[in-house]
Structure 1
Amino acid sequence: MKQRFFPLIALSILLLGSCKSLVEKGNDQFLSGQYQYAINTFGQILADDSTNLEANQVVAESYRLSNRIEKAAPYYSRIVEETPSFNNYFFLGQSLKAQQKNKEATAAFEASKQYTSDEALLARVQREIEGIKLAEGIENYWPNHVLVNYKELNTPGADYAPVLSEDFLYFTSGRQASGLYPATGTPYTKLFRARADGLKVDVGGIQALPEFRNEEGLNQASIAISPDGNTIIYARGNSTSAKDLPEVALFASYFRGAGFTQPIWMPLNEDENWWNSTPAFSPDGAELYFASNRPGGFGGIDLYKATKLANGDFGNPVNLGPTINTPGNEMFPRMAPDGKFFFSSDGHPGYGKLDLFVAEKDESGTQVIKNLGQNFNSQDDDFGIFFTEYPKAGFISSNRADGVGDDDIYYFEDKTPKPKIINVLLNVFAKETKADGAEAPLPQTRIVLYGSDNKQQGGDFSNTNGRVRFTMAPDSDYTIIASKSGYFSKSIPYTTKGKTPDPATLIQDVTNVTLDTTIFLDQLILEKAIVLENIYYDLDKAEIRSDAAVELDKLVKILQDNPSIRIELSSHTDSRSSDAYNLDLSQRRAQSAVDYMVSKGIAADRLVAKGYGETQLIIKDAKTEEEHQVNRRTEFKVIEIKE
Structure 2
Amino acid sequence: MKYYFFSLSLLFTLVLGGCKSMLEKGNDQFLSGQYQYAINTFGGILEQDSTDFRANQVMAESYRLSNRIEKSEPYYRQLVEQEPSFNHYFFLAQSLKAQQKNEEAKKAFESAKQYTSDEALLARTQREIESIKLAEGIENYWPNHVLVNYQELNTPGPDYSPVVSENFLYFTAGRQASGIYPATGTPYTKLFRTRAEGVRVDVGGIQALPEFRNEEGLNQGAIAISPDGNTIIYSRGNSTSPKDLPENALFASYFRGSGFTQPIWMPVNEDEFWWNSTPAFSPDGSELYFASNRPGGYGGIDLYKATKLANGDFGNAVNLGPTINTPGNELFPRMAPDGKFFFSSDGHPGYGKLDLFVAEKDENGTQVIKNLGENFNTKDDDFGIFFTEYPKTGFISSNREGGVGDDDIYYFEDKTPKPKIINVLLNVFAKETKEDGSDSPIPQTRIVLYGSDNKQQGGDFSNANGRVRFTMAPESDYTIIASKNGYFSKSVPYTTKGKTPDPATLIQDVTNVTLDTTIYLDQLILEKSIVLENIYYDLDKADIRPDAAIELDKLVKILADNPSIRIELSSHTDARSSDAYNLDLSQRRAQSAVDYIVSKGIAADRLVAKGYGETQLIIKDAQTEEEHQVNRRTEFKVIEIKE
Displacement after TM superposition at 1:23 (Å): 2.1
Q: Alignment RMSD, CA only?
A: 1.3
Write the distance in 2 (CA, Å) between the matches of 1:118 and 1:631. 98
Contact 2:443 2:461 in 1 (8 A): yes
Question: What SS does the corresponding residue of 1:143 show, helix, strand or coil?
Answer: coil
CA distance in 2, matches of 1:140, 1:300: 27
Q: What corresponds to 1:540 in structure 2?
A: 540
Q: What is the alpha-carbon distance in structure 2 between the residues aligned to residue 579 and residue 124 of structure 1? A: 97
Q: Are the equivalent residues in 1 in contact too, given 2:89–2:112 (CA < 8 A)? A: yes
Indicate the residue corresponding to 2:441 in structure 1.
441
**In the TM superposition, what is the alpha-carbon distance from 1:473 to its structure 2 partner?**
1.2
- Partner residue, 1:176: 176
Match in the other structure for 2:311: 311
Superposed counterparts of 1:6-21, under 5 Å = 6-7=6-7, 8-17=10-19, 20-21=20-21
Tell me the number of residue pairs that the alignment of Structure 1 and Structure 2 aligns: 641
Q: Distance in 2 between matches of 1:634 and 1:364?
A: 58
Counterpart amino acid of residue 16 in structure 1 = G
Distance 2:615 2:571 in 1: 11
| Separation in 2, partners of 1:297, 1:637 | 84
On the 8 A contact 2:173/2:192 being kept in 1, the answer is yes
> Which amino acid is the alignment partner of residue 15 of structure 1?
G
Residue 298 of structure 1 and its aligned partner are, at CA, apart by: 1.5
Consecutive unaligned residues in structure 2, runs of 5 or more: none
Mapping of residues 262-301 of structure 1, within 5 Å: 262-301=262-301
8 Å Cα contact 1:427/1:514 also seen in 2: yes
TM-score, length basis structure 2: 0.98
Counterpart CA distance in 1 for 2:111 and 2:390 is 44
Which residue in 2 is equivalent to 1:341? 341
Paired residue type of 1:11:
T
Query: Contact between 1:342 and 1:356, CA under 8 Å: does it hold in 2?
Result: yes
Q: Please give the per-residue CA displacement for 1:128-150, whole angstroms capped at 9, x wherever unaligned.
A: 11111111111212222111111
Amino acid in structure 2 at the alignment position of 1:25 = K
- The answer to whether the 8 Å contact 1:534/1:551 transfers is yes
Q: Is the 8 A contact 2:14 2:27 kept in 1?
A: no
Return the TM-score normalized by structure 1.
Answer: 0.98
Paired residues for 1:231-246 under 5 Å: 231-246=231-246
Equivalent pair of 1:4/1:65 in contact (CA under 8 Å): no
Does residue 572 of structure 2 align to residue 572 of structure 1? Answer: yes
**Cα distance in 2, alignment partners of residues 354 and 165 from structure 1:** 26
Q: Retained in 2: the 8 A contact 1:6–1:300?
A: no
Q: Which amino acid aligns with 2:205?
A: G
- Alpha-carbon distance in structure 1 between the residues aligned to 2:167 and 2:583: 91
**Which residue of structure 2 aligns with residue 385 of structure 1?**
385
**1:476-500, Cα deviation, whole Å (9 max, x unpaired):** 1111110011111111111111111
Superposed CA deviations along residues 228-283 of structure 1, whole A, max 9, x for unmatched, are: 11110001111111211111111110000000000011111122121111111111
Q: 1:524-535 residue pairs with structure 2 within 5 A?
A: 524-535=524-535
Counterpart of 2:3, as a letter, is Q
Question: AA paired with 2:262?
Answer: Q
What do the CA deviations read for 1:199-218 (whole angstroms, capped 9, x no partner)? 11111111110000111111
Whole-Å Cα distance in 1 between the matches of residues 629 and 322 of structure 2? 85
Q: Deviations over 1:432-452 (max 9, x none)?
A: 111111100000000011111
- 4+ runs of 1 displaced by more than 6 Å? none
Paired amino acid for 1:582: N
Cα distance in 2 between the residues matched to 1:613 and 1:66: 104
Q: Aligned residue for 1:103?
A: 103
**Please, which runs of 5 or more residues in structure 1 have no aligned partner?**
none
**Aligned equivalents of 1:557, 1:263: Cα separation in 2:** 78
Secondary structure of 1:72's aligned partner: helix
CA distance in 2, matches of 1:128, 1:503: 44
- Supply the distance in 2 between the matched residues of 1:271 and 1:571 (Cα, whole angstroms): 97
Cα pair distance change 1:544/1:117, threshold 3 Å: closer
Q: Does 1:354 align with 2:347?
A: no
What is the deviation of 1:577? 2.3
Q: Deviations over 1:494-528 (max 9, x none)?
A: 11111111222222222111111100111111111
Amino acid aligned to 1:201 = V
Instruction: Give the structure 2 partner of residue 396 of structure 1.
Output: 396
Kept after mapping to 1: 8 A contact 2:16/2:24: no
Shift of 1:13: 4.2
User: What amino acid does structure 1 have at the position aligned with 2:339?
Assistant: G
Q: Distance in 1 between matches of 2:26 and 2:510?
A: 69
TM-superposed deviation, 1:4: 4.9
Q: Secondary structure at the match of 2:141?
A: coil
Q: 2:3–2:221: 8 Å Cα contact kept in structure 1?
A: no
Percent identity (aligned) = 87
Q: Give the equivalent residue in structure 2 for 1:453.
A: 453
Q: Give the distance between the partners of 1:639 and 1:402, measured in 2 at CA.
A: 86
* 2:249 equivalent to 1:249: yes
More displaced 10-residue stretch of structure 1: 3-12 or 311-320: 3-12
Kindly indicate whether residue 619 of structure 2 is the aligned counterpart of residue 637 of structure 1.
no
One-letter code of the match for 1:358? V
1:158-215 alpha-carbon deviations (Å, 9 max, x no partner): 0000011111110001111111111000111000011111111111111110000111
Q: Secondary structure at the match of 2:514?
A: strand
Contact 1:158 1:406 in 2 (8 A): yes
Q: In 2, distance between residues paired with 1:296 and 1:527?
A: 90
Which region of structure 1 is more displaced relative to structure 2, 606-615 or 190-199? 606-615
